[in-house]
Amino acid sequence: MNRAWAVFKAHPYIGNVLGYTTLFASADLIQQSLLGGNAVGIDWCQTGRVATVGFCFHANFNYHWLRALERMLPGSRVRMVTAKVVLDQLIAAPLTISAFYIGSQIDVILFQIQLVYWSTMQVRILSIFWLHKGHISCTCRGV
């Protein structure tokens, strides 16, 4: 156990990533258990998406953001802590909340991209092909 603790002390980034992933996954499990909205039980796909958002975005963003805040505003006096909290709430909070909701709905977003984007790209590719082959005239000729 002391060896693991030494690794986390030497490399705080690893502990941060593991901590955020565990925190997000366990919070989602608790939320699903308390609300009990799913008749089947725990929605493990949702928990996986929430844990992935915690792992991929929140752990990395918060690790670097809080380090930057500490470098910009060093100290633990009331004035410095207040400034850090205000900056955190004005800058980081909107980003992290947006990332959470976007990441939690990634399957819906990917479905919309698959549904709309690919058909739009096919039309664009075909129209470029038709323009290139001269099937559609784009020049205005004087009368």
- Tens of pLDDT, residue by residue, the chain (143 residues): 788 788 878 888 888 899 999 999 999 999 888 887 666 788 888 899 889 989 989 999 999 999 999 999 999 999 999 999 999 999 999 988 888 888 777 777 777 777 777 777 777 677 666 655 655 555 555 54
My answer on whether 99 and 133 are in the same domain is no
My answer on whether 67 and 126 are in the same domain is no
My answer on whether 99 and 117 are in the same domain is no
Contacts 24+ apart (CB under 8 A), 22-31: 23/54, 24/50, 24/51, 24/53, 24/54, 24/55, 24/58, 25/50, 25/51, 25/54
My answer on whether 54 and 13 are in the same domain is yes
My answer on whether 63 and 94 are in the same domain is yes
Q: Give me the number of domains the chain comprises.
A: 2
My answer on whether 52 and 92 are in the same domain is yes
My answer on whether 100 and 111 are in the same domain is no
Which structural domain, as residue segments, surrounds residue 59? 2-104
pTM: 0.64
Tokens at residue 73, please?
């505003």
Tokens at residue 97, please?
């909340």
